[in-house]
Amino acid sequence: MKFLLLPFLLFIFVGYSQSIKLKNGDFLFQSTNCGPLCDAINQVTEGYKGNDFSHMGMVVIQNNQVFILEASGNGVTLTPYEAFALKTQAPMYVGRLKKRYQKLIPHAISFGKKQIGVPYDVEYLYNNGKYYCSELIYDCFLEAYGEPLFKLFPMTYKAPGEDDYFEVWASYFKKLNMEVPEGKPGCNPGGISKSKKIKIIGTI
């Protein structure tokens, strides 16, 4: 009986993880391959249950089609789900706002759509008129809530316990002719994935 029960339970679990019906305002957390930069990001940020997330976006459903509002190399865009999913290296984790905050979603999406075309924030500086992925989500819900829904933390570009910057980051900011913005406020997908304001409901 035990041998028959185990496959049955596994079937239920796998079926659940693959049958999530995405809703407006859901968050998708991705592990993408952006080379040494992603490796450096992963060393200093930790997501839900220790997962490494280097990108995220928010679900927007229009005309029965699923799009993802995201800030990537092309700036802020509304990307078809299928194109967004192609970027991930592993199953995407789905986060959903807890019930008391779901009333914020329409306002957050409305604000986010108005940001379409805003350039990508290659400087990773908060409030500079550009957006990186989690910064866009942070501002969408800051606008909707009237105060921060998620948290900003001091950003670091150093390996844990080290005094020197990651070489890839030092080179990156040198090319931009700017100082490394160590300690400046910011956010990341991993931090948002662990927020108590959302619940991770599975993977797709």
pLDDT band at 18 (very low <50, low <70, confident <90, very high): low
Asked if pLDDT for residue 5 goes beyond 80, the answer is: no
Give yes or no for a contact between 176 and 123, defined as CB atoms under 8 angstroms apart: yes
Highest mean pLDDT among 8-12, 22-26, 162-166: 22-26
Give DSSP secondary structure letters for 17-54. HH-----TT-EEEE----THHHHHHHHH---GGG----
Q: Give the Cα separation of 135 and 187 in Å (integer).
A: 6
Tell me what pLDDT residue 16 has.
35
In angstroms, how far is CA 56 from the centroid of its own chain?
A: 2
β-partners of residue 165 are 158
pLDDT tens readout for residues 31-41: 988 788 888 88
- Other C-beta atoms closer than 10 Å to the C-beta of 42 total 16
Read off the pLDDT of each residue in 67-71 and give the average, rounded to a whole number: 98
What is the number of alpha carbons within 13 Å of residue 124 lying toward its C-beta?
23
Q: Which domains does the chain have, with CATH numbers?
A: 23-203 (3.90.1720.10)
pLDDT tens digits, one per residue of 123-157 = 999 999 999 999 999 999 999 999 999 999 999 99
Q: How far apart are alpha carbons 57 and 72 in whole angstroms?
A: 9
pLDDT of residue 120: 98
Residue in the block written with tokens 């991993």? 190
> In this structure, are residues 27 and 105 in contact, taking their beta carbons and an 8 Å threshold?
no
